[in-house]
C-alpha cells in the first residue's frame, strides 16, 4: 500500500492559499466599497470606469462654469438696468423739460449741465462694471509693450495769438517735447497740426487764420510755434470758430483718433442766434460743435475759469466729449491730462477696441460651448455723445436718440435674460447627466456589499476548512512516523 501524503498536503496547501487570497480580495472590496480596486479585478471594466470618471469630473467643472456664466449675465443685465432706469429715463425727462420755452437761457443751461453729468455717470457705470476683473460693458484695456504700435492720433493745436497770450504760447513751447514724447512712448503714431488765429471777424474784414501743415516731427512743429507772435487784440471775443472751421479741412487719417486743443484766454465770436452771441461770426457755436461730433473730433479747451467765458467755450467741449482745463494752472499738468485722454482714445480706435464674445464651456467635451455676446455701452458708442436741449430742433433730435438707445438697451437686457435661461437649462441638463453617469459608474465599479459579504463568508469557511485539512494531513504524517518506530 502506497500513501501519497506529499501530494495531499500540497493540494490542501494550494486550496488554503486560494481561499486566503479570496478572503483578502473580499476584504479589499468591502473596505473600499469598490468592485474594481486594480485593473486585474476587471480589465475592461477598469477602462470604462476611468473614462466615466473623466466625464463626471468634466461635468462638475462645467456646472461651475455655467454658474459663473449666469452670474456674469446677471452682473451685465443689472448694470444695463441701472443705465436705463434711472439714467436714460432721467435724461429723457430733462430733454422734455428743457425744450419748453418757459425756461430762461440760464435755466436751460442748468438742465444741460445735469444731462452732461448723467452721461458721465453712465460712462462710470460702464467703466466700473466688472466680473472677475473682466469688463462686461466696454472693451478691455489692453497693455502693450513699449515700442509696439497701439494706434494713431491726429492733434491740432488752435492757439489764440493775441497780445495777452504771450505766457500761454511760451508754456506750449516749453512743454511740447514732453507732450509729444509721452504719446509716442505709448506706441502711438502722432501727427500734429497748428492753427494760429487772432481777432478775425469776417464782418469786419479781419485777417485770416494761419494754418500750418500736419507734421509728425516735433522739431518742425516747434519751428511753427516759433513763428507765433503774440500781439494785437485783447481779452475780447476772438475768431476761434473760424479757426476750427479751417482746422476741419486737415487731411485726417481715417483710423486715427482726432483731438483739437483750443488754447485761449477769451470768448469766441458767435453768430447772434439768441444764445448771446456778438453777431461777428458767420458760424454758430452749436453748429460747429455738431460738425466736430459728426467728424468724431474731441475739442479740448485750455481756457480761463471765469464763468462767462467757460460757459461759452464749454458749449464746444462738452458736446464733443472734450476736456475743459484751466489756462492759469500749471500748464504741464494740463497737458498730462490731455495725454492720458489721447492715449486712451488712440487705443480705442485700434483693432483691439472690440468686444469679443465669451465662450462658456457647458459640457465635458469639445464643442460643448454657449457663446455670449458682449456690447460696448459707452456713451459715444451708443450714439449719445451729442445731446442738447436747446434749440428746440436739437432737443427733438436728442429725444429721438434717447428713445432709440433705450429700445436698444431693452433689447440687450432681454437678450441677456434669454441667455441666462439657456444657461439654467444647460445647468439642469449637466446635473442630470452627472447623476445618471455617476449611477452608471457605480454599477461598473462599486461592490455589491450583500453579495460580496456572502462571498466573504464562503471564502472564510473554505479557509477554515483548508486549515483543518492541513492539520489532519499533519496528524497523518505523525501516524506514519509512529509506524516506523
Q: What is the CATH number of the domain that holds 276?
A: 3.40.50.410
Of 314, 332, 348, the residue at which a domain comes to its end is 348
> Do 31 and 151 fall within a single domain?
no
208 occurs within a structural domain: yes
Q: Which of 180-184, 192-196, 255-259, 362-366 has the lowest mean pLDDT?
A: 180-184
Compute the average pLDDT of residues 361-372: 91
pLDDT at 294: 87
> Do 151 and 280 fall within a single domain?
yes
Res. 68 pLDDT band, cuts 50 70 90 = very high
Better-scored residue on pLDDT, 20 or 240:
240
Res. 149 pLDDT band, cuts 50 70 90 = very low
Res. 238 pLDDT band, cuts 50 70 90 = confident
Of 326, 348, 370, the residue at which a domain comes to its end is 348
383 occurs within a structural domain: no
> Do 45 and 172 fall within a single domain?
no
387 occurs within a structural domain: no
132 occurs within a structural domain: no
> Do 206 and 308 fall within a single domain?
yes
Res. 335 pLDDT band, cuts 50 70 90 = confident
> Do 454 and 344 fall within a single domain?
no
Q: For residue 57, which of 448, 441, 421 has the smallest C-alpha distance?
A: 441
Mean pLDDT (the chain, rounded): 82
> Do 13 and 148 fall within a single domain?
no
Q: Which of 263-272, 316-325, 403-412 has the lowest mean pLDDT?
A: 263-272
> Do 295 and 153 fall within a single domain?
yes
> Do 151 and 266 fall within a single domain?
yes
Res. 399 pLDDT band, cuts 50 70 90 = very high
CA 140-142-148 angle, 5° bins: 155
Query: Hunting for cell 507765433 — which residue is that?
Result: 228
Q: Report how far residue 141's alpha carbon sits from residue 485's, in angstroms, rounded to the nearest whole number.
A: 103
13 occurs within a structural domain: yes
CA 98-104-105 angle, 5° bins: 80
132 DSSP 8-state letter: T
214 occurs within a structural domain: yes
Better-scored residue on pLDDT, 390 or 347:
390
Cell of 292: 466736430
244: alpha, beta or left? (left if phi > 0; alpha if psi -120 to 50): alpha
Q: Report how far residue 480's alpha carbon sits from residue 474's, in angstroms, rounded to the nearest whole number.
A: 10
Res. 212 pLDDT band, cuts 50 70 90 = very high
Asked whether the beta carbons of 158 and 260 are under 8 A apart, the reply is yes
Angstrom CA distances, 412 to 129, 175, 179, 254, 373, stand at 16, 46, 40, 30, 10
255 DSSP 8-state letter: T
Asked whether the beta carbons of 361 and 51 are under 8 A apart, the reply is no
Q: What pLDDT, in 10s, does the model give residues 251-291?
A: 998 888 899 999 898 888 887 655 556 778 888 898 899 99
Residue 42: count other Cβ atoms within 10 Å of its Cβ: 16
pLDDT at 326: 86
> Do 304 and 193 fall within a single domain?
yes
> Do 28 and 162 fall within a single domain?
no
Res. 136 pLDDT band, cuts 50 70 90 = very high
> Do 38 and 161 fall within a single domain?
no
Of 348, 371, 391, the residue at which a domain comes to its end is 348
Question: In total, how many domains does the chain have?
Answer: 2
Q: What pLDDT, in 10s, does the model give residues 25-62?
A: 666 666 666 677 777 777 787 788 888 888 999 999 99
Res. 329 pLDDT band, cuts 50 70 90 = confident
Domain extent at residue 23: 5-58+434-484
388 occurs within a structural domain: no
Q: Report how far residue 16's alpha carbon sits from residue 469's, in angstroms, rounded to the nearest whole number.
A: 9
Instruction: Give strand pairing partners of 152.
Output: 189
pLDDT at 348: 43
203 occurs within a structural domain: yes
> Do 30 and 176 fall within a single domain?
no
Amino acid at each position: 500500500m502506497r500513501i501519497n501524503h506529499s501530494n495531499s498536503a500540497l493540494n490542501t496547501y494550494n486550496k488554503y492559499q486560494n481561499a486566503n487570497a479570496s478572503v483578502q480580495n473580499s476584504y479589499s472590496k468591502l473596505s473600499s466599497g469598490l468592485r474594481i480596486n486594480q485593473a486585474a479585478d476587471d480589465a475592461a471594466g477598469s477602462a470604462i470606469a476611468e473614462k466615466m470618471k473623466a466625464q463626471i469630473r468634466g461635468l462638475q467643472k462645467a456646472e461651475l462654469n455655467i454658474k459663473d456664466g449666469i452670474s456674469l449675465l446677471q452682473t451685465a443685465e443689472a448694470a444695463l438696468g441701472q443705465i436705463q432706469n434711472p439714467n436714460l429715463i432721467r435724461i429723457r425727462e430733462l430733454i422734455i423739460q428743457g425744450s419748453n420755452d418757459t425756461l430762461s437761457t440760464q435755466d436751460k443751461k442748468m438742465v444741460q449741465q445735469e444731462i452732461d453729468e448723467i452721461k458721465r455717470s453712465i460712462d462710470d457705470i460702464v467703466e466700473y462694471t466688472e466680473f472677475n476683473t473682466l469688463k462686461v460693458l466696454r472693451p478691455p484695456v489692453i497693455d502693450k509693450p513699449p515700442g509696439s504700435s497701439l494706434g494713431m492720433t491726429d492733434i491740432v493745436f488752435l492757439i489764440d495769438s493775441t497780445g495777452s497770450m504771450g505766457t500761454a504760447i511760451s508754456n506750449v513751447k516749453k512743454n511740447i517735447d514732453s507732450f509729444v514724447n509721452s504719446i509716442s512712448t505709448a506706441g502711438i503714431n502722432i501727427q500734429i497740426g497748428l492753427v494760429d488765429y487772432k481777432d478775425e471777424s469776417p464782418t469786419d474784414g479781419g485777417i485770416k487764420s494761419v494754418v500750418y501743415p500736419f507734421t509728425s516731427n516735433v522739431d518742425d512743429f516747434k519751428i511753427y510755434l516759433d513763428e507765433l507772435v503774440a500781439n494785437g487784440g485783447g481779452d475780447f471775443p476772438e475768431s476761434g470758430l473760424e479757426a476750427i472751421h479751417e482746422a476741419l479741412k486737415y487731411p485726417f487719417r481715417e483710423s486715427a483718433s482726432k483731438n483739437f486743443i483750443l488754447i485761449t484766454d477769451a470768448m469766441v465770436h458767435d453768430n447772434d442766434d439768441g444764445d448771446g452771441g456778438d453777431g461777428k461770426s458767420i458760424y454758430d457755436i452749436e453748429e460747429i460743435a455738431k460738425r466736430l461730433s459728426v467728424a468724431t473730433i474731441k475739442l479740448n479747451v485750455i481756457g480761463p475759469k471765469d464763468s462767462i467765458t467757460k460757459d461759452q467755450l464749454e458749449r464746444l467741449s462738452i458736446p464733443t466729449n472734450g476736456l475743459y482745463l484751466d489756462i492759469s494752472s500749471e500748464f504741464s499738468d494740463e497737458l498730462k491730462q490731455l495725454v492720458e485722454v489721447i492715449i486712451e482714445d488712440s487705443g480705442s480706435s485700434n483693432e483691439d477696441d472690440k468686444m469679443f464674445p465669451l465662450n462658456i464651456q457647458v459640457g465635458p467635451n469639445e464643442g460643448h460651448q454657449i457663446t455670449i455676446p458682449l456690447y460696448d455701452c459707452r456713451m459715444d458708442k451708443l450714439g449719445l455723445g451729442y445731446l442738447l436741449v436747446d434749440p428746440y430742433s436739437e432737443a427733438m433730435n436728442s429725444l429721438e436718440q434717447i428713445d432709440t438707445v433705450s429700445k436698444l438697451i431693452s433689447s440687450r437686457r432681454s437678450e441677456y435674460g434669454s441667455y441666462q435661461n439657456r444657461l439654467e437649462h444647460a445647468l439642469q441638463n449637466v446635473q442630470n447627466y452627472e447623476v445618471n453617469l455617476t449611477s452608471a459608474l457605480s454599477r461598473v465599479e462599486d461592490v455589491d456589499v450583500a453579495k460580496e459579504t456572502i462571498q466573504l463568508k464562503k471564502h472564510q469557511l473554505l479557509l477554515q476548512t483548508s486549515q483543518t485539512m492541513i492539520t489532519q494531513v499533519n496528524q497523518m504524517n505523525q501516524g506514519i512516523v509512529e509506524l516506523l518506530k
